[in-house]
Amino acid sequence: MANMVQDMTTGKEVPLLLKFTIPLLIGNLFQQCYSIVDSAIVGHVEGANALGAIGCTNWITYIFFACCNGVGIGAGILVAQFFGASKRRNIRQAIANSFYIILLLGVALSVLGFLITEPVLILLGTPDGQLEQAIDYMQIICSGTFAVALYNYVANVMRALGDSKTPLLFLLIASFLNIALDVIFVVELGFGVKGAAYATVLAQLIAAIFSMVYAVWKNPYFRMERRDLKFNKELVVMCFQIGMPLAAQSMMISLSCVILQSMVNRFDEAVVSAFTVTSKVELLLDQPFIALSSAISTFTGQNMGAGKQDRVKKAFRWSVLITTSYCVLVAVAIFLFDEQIARLFVQESYVIDISAMALRIMGIMYWPLGMIFIIRGLLNGAGDAGYALTNGIVEVAGRIGFSVLFVFLLPVGMWSVWIATGLTWCLTAFMAYLRYRKGIWKTTTKVTT
């Protein structure tokens, strides 16, 4: 039991946060590298059209996954709060009842995704040369939504109990398995984009099954008695109250990114390429924020359940210091090596010049993004579900408002897309900090000792 759970309600805050964050960071970085390899296999074997067909579906499928993951995170937060409150029986009941929700939701979204794939892709104007492959890929991926939901559910519950190492293990297994299956299905058997989709779904399904079996085998909280398996309406409602706003937040953020991309597409191909470069760099640089956000969410959930608000405040202050130090290093690195970073992705000098300047704009306004992540993690861990919805609305309004302002009304030109993104970070961070200072999160915890 000592290896499978971590009590974060006692001990020094920084070592606990770092111990939890580092495995998550390793897993996130590896997942990004795996994603690049996965795309390279499809692009080199099947060509740019096939890769483009997969790209056409990314934001749509993400909406389905975000819905399941939001509920899974909600379940994890509830488990963390019960753990902090030392309510062991409630932990098992929460795990069981949230499993019912995730399974039913995953199956329902799998069926829905399969049925709406073709009309949605046609409605979005998917290019004719990519439409058929995009439909094939998205139907298979959406059919496997339940597998993604189950895997993320087990990972979120394990993290809620303080175990970030086991989810890392199964993430690594799933990633290596996915690459191996890509080689078999795409390279050896020539299944094309269908093969890439089958590889992803099968890898996720195997990871979900093995992680569930391993959790039951090693973690006593996953070993249920008959009374733990009873349907509990109150727990189900609590899980939805926390999880659905988180799901809505992710879906709204993805929508705002689609809108911003439409603004980028108004400029020439060089700007679009430069935006792709900076987006990839940002995604890699964001991984420490994402890992730290998850760590402080679990830390907050457990300590709020234990009634230890002072520990949460200390963890927040240390997280701000860690984030600030990291952002200073990132800014210095960008200003020293902006062109070299851009050359990792493109060779055209004019695209490199645009990318380098855009990276500098991003580096100047990067700190607010870190603040968004750590405050979001803290408020989510405390069960402040109302903030999640507000956060999503602010990001959508910011990206649309600033994009319209700088693209259409002010003579900023192509730099408008990066300035709009940076100012959206500033606005969202400011609103998040106001929410933290207001202190609503101190009273939103679902369970206490």
Whether the pLDDT of residue 1 is over 60: the answer is no
Specify whether the CB–CB gap between 307 and 388 falls below 8 A: no
- Per-residue model confidence (pLDDT) at position 56: 64
pTM beyond 0.85, yes or no: no
* Residues in CB range of 244: below 8 A, 6 or more apart: 70, 71, 74, 385
Higher pLDDT, 168 or 448: 168
Total residues belonging to the chain: 449
Q: What is the pLDDT of residues 362-411, one digit of tens each?
A: 898 889 999 999 998 898 888 787 787 788 888 888 888 888 887 777 77
Specify whether the CB–CB gap between 341 and 281 falls below 8 A: yes
Specify whether the CB–CB gap between 346 and 352 falls below 8 A: yes
Higher pLDDT, 37 or 393: 393
Q: What is the pLDDT of residues 100-121, one digit of tens each?
A: 888 898 899 999 989 988 888 8
**Residue extents of the structural domains in the chain:** 19-231, 244-449
- Per-residue model confidence (pLDDT) at position 218: 83
> How many CB atoms are located within 10 Å of the residue 125 CB?
9
Spatial CA neighbour of 93 closest among 273, 189, 226, 247 = 226
Tokens of 67: 């819905």
Q: What is the pLDDT of residues 127-150, one digit of tens each?
A: 677 778 888 888 898 888 888 888
Reading phi first (left if > 0) and then psi (alpha if -120 to 50, else beta), residue 12 is in beta
Which of 33-37, 76-80, 313-317 shows the lowest per-residue confidence on average (mean pLDDT)?
33-37
> How many CB atoms are located within 10 Å of the residue 119 CB?
9
Cα dihedral sign for 41, 42, 47, 51?
negative
Reading phi first (left if > 0) and then psi (alpha if -120 to 50, else beta), residue 126 is in beta
Q: What is the pLDDT of residues 146-157, one digit of tens each?
A: 888 888 888 888
Give the pLDDT band (50/70/90) at residue 2: very low
Q: What is the pLDDT of residues 244-298, one digit of tens each?
A: 777 777 777 777 776 776 676 677 667 766 776 787 788 788 888 988 888 888 8
Whether the pLDDT of residue 4 is over 50: the answer is yes
Spatial CA neighbour of 48 closest among 125, 142, 133 = 133
Measured at the CA of 292, the angle between CA 286 and CA 297, to 5 degrees, comes to: 125
Give the pLDDT band (50/70/90) at residue 5: low
Give the pLDDT band (50/70/90) at residue 237: confident
> How many CB atoms are located within 10 Å of the residue 31 CB?
14
Q: What is the pLDDT of residues 41-75, one digit of tens each?
A: 776 676 656 666 676 676 677 778 877 877 888 88
> How many CB atoms are located within 10 Å of the residue 434 CB?
10
Mean pLDDT throughout 162-178?
81
- Per-residue model confidence (pLDDT) at position 62: 76
Euclidean distance between CA atoms 154 and 146, whole angstroms: 12
Tokens 């991309």 belong to 261
Q: At what angle do helices 416-438 and 367-381 cross, to 10 degrees?
A: 40
Whether the pLDDT of residue 346 is over 70: the answer is no
Euclidean distance between CA atoms 348 and 338, whole angstroms: 15
Tokens of 356: 């380098």
Q: At what angle do helices 48-55 and 128-143 cross, to 10 degrees?
A: 50
Measured at the CA of 91, the angle between CA 86 and CA 96, to 5 degrees, comes to: 175
Instruction: Provide the mean pLDDT of the chain.
Output: 82
